């Protein structure tokens, strides 16, 4: 890929902008997320991008993520699943912004086998990027999971995104830990206890009784000598274990599972999958997003 481009991944919590010359990142700037700027997005873009324009306007600007949502700036549609990378690129909104062609990438929409409708913005960029970086991912029917506040479980086949499901498990965990009477209030940060709780929660998830197992986060502290750190790990293991079981029943795939994302959360999903005998591999989310926007060398 030759020429100069500015590409951006603009989610709820932050904006990451990159200037790319001939397939290489030459500069980066971070800015505020859509959740903070809302309808002030164009102004925030102008301020964050200014240093990246100092060496001259790029040939093109491309943005993905929540910037394309309704009532923010210029809405980008949802492409319907099943969708190839070409289907998704064709659905972008393109317009001239201060003399430079600017694209806001589309989201994706699907209707599950159980007739539940769902949407994503941003994760599709990482998935299509993963196909570019790892061509074997574009072969066969596979399950990809992107852990986060609202996890996406994505069924892909031969380079197309077939269907997906959003699981708000991360948000649910934070609510239970921080704002419910189940939540431990006096954690000491004991990682051994947290891991013991996580393992016990994962095992409990195998019973298939999420609601009937939640109160144990409190009652096992009151009655069975468990610690607050144990309880936080237990809630996490129970929720993630139940989520993994539900997702793998809803979106069946025969291959190993691919995790896109980094940090502790992806470790926990890898553990939960491993406890079910499923091998997983991990890819870096930012690298995948850059490849999905198409302006970074994939060799």
Q: Which is nearer to its own copies, 54 or 224 (CB)?
A: 224
Cα–chain center distance at 246:
18
* Distance of alpha carbon 166 from alpha carbon 172, whole angstroms: 13
Q: 6, 62, 239, 259: which one contacts its own copies (CB under 8 A)?
A: 239
Q: Which is nearer to its own copies, 10 or 153 (CB)?
A: 153
Q: How far is the CB of 207 from its own copies (least distance, A)?
A: 6
Q: 208, 252, 256, 297: which one contacts its own copies (CB under 8 A)?
A: 208
Q: 134, 150, 160, 282: which one contacts its own copies (CB under 8 A)?
A: 150
- Give the phi and the psi of residue 262 in degrees, each rounded to 5: -125, 180
Q: Give the residue carrying structure tokens 């002030």.
A: 40
Q: How far is the CB of 72 from its own copies (least distance, A)?
A: 14
Question: Residue 143's CB: how many other CB atoms inside 10 A?
Answer: 22
> Which region among 91-99, 191-199, 211-219, 279-287 touches its own copies (by CB under 8 A)?
211-219
DSSP assignment letter at 137: G
Interaction of residue 209 with its own copies, rule CB under 8 A: yes
DSSP assignment letter at 83: B
Question: Residue 4's CB: how many other CB atoms inside 10 A?
Answer: 17
Q: How far is the CB of 271 from its own copies (least distance, A)?
A: 17
Beta strands in the chain (DSSP E): 4-10, 14-21, 24-32, 60-65, 78-80, 93-97, 100-104, 107-111, 117-120, 141-146, 151-157, 160-167, 257-260, 280-283
* Distance of alpha carbon 210 from alpha carbon 254, whole angstroms: 26
Q: Which is nearer to its own copies, 39 or 180 (CB)?
A: 180
Interaction of residue 36 with its own copies, rule CB under 8 A: no
Q: How far is the CB of 53 from its own copies (least distance, A)?
A: 34
Q: 54, 71, 95, 114: which one contacts its own copies (CB under 8 A)?
A: 114
Interaction of residue 215 with its own copies, rule CB under 8 A: yes
Nearest C-alpha neighbor of 190 from the set 226, 166, 238, 143: 226
Q: 1, 90, 212, 279: which one contacts its own copies (CB under 8 A)?
A: 212
Q: How far is the CB of 60 from its own copies (least distance, A)?
A: 30
Interaction of residue 216 with its own copies, rule CB under 8 A: yes
Tokens in use for 57? 């306007």
> Which region among 14-22, 55-63, 243-251, 274-282 touches its own copies (by CB under 8 A)?
243-251
Give the x-and-dash track for 159-188 against its own copies (CB under 8 A).
------xxxxx-xx--xx--xxxx------
DSSP output for 14-62: EEEEEEEETTEEEEEEEEE-HHHHGGGHHHHHHHHHHHHHTT---SEEE
Tokens in use for 227? 């610690």
Interaction of residue 250 with its own copies, rule CB under 8 A: yes
Size of the site for its own copies (CB under 8 A): 43
In the complex, the residues that contact its own copies under the rule CB under 8 A are: 109, 114, 116-119, 150, 165-169, 171-172, 175-176, 179-182, 204, 207-216, 219-220, 222-224, 239, 242-243, 246-247, 249-250
């Amino acid at each position: 890929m030759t020429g100069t481009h500015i590409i951006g991944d603009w989610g709820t919590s932050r904006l990451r902008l990159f200037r790319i010359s001939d397939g290489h990142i030459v500069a980066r700037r971070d800015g505020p997320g859509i959740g903070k700027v809302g309808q002030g997005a164009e102004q925030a873009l102008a301020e964050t991008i200014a240093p990246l324009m100092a060496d001259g306007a790029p040939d093109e600007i491309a943005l993905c993520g929540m910037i394309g949502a309704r009532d923010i700036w210029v809405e980008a549609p949802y492409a319907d699943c099943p969708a190839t990378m070409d289907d998704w690129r064709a659905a972008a909104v393109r317009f001239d912004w201060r003399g430079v062609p600017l694209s806001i990438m589309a989201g994706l929409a699907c209707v599950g086998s159980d007739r539940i409708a769902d949407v994503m913005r941003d994760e599709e960029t990482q998935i299509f990027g993963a196909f570019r970086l790892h061509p074997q991912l574009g072969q066969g029917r596979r399950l990809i999971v992107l852990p986060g506040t609202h996890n996406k479980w994505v069924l892909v086949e031969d380079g197309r995104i077939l269907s997906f499901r959003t699981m708000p498990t991360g948000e649910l965990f934070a609510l239970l830990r921080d704002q419910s009477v189940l939540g431990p209030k006096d954690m000491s940060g004991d990682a051994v206890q947290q891991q013991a709780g996580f393992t016990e929660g994962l095992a409990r998830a195998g019973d298939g009784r999420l609601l009937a197992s939640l109160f144990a986060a409190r009652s096992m502290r009151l009655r069975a000598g468990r610690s607050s750190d144990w309880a936080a790990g237990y809630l996490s293991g129970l929720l993630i274990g139940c989520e993994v079981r539900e997702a793998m029943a809803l979106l069946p795939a025969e291959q190993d599972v691919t995790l896109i994302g980094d940090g502790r959360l992806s470790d926990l999903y890898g553990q939960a999958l491993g406890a079910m005998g499923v091998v997983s591999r991990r890819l870096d989310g930012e690298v995948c997003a850059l490849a999905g926007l198409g302006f970074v060398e994939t060799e």
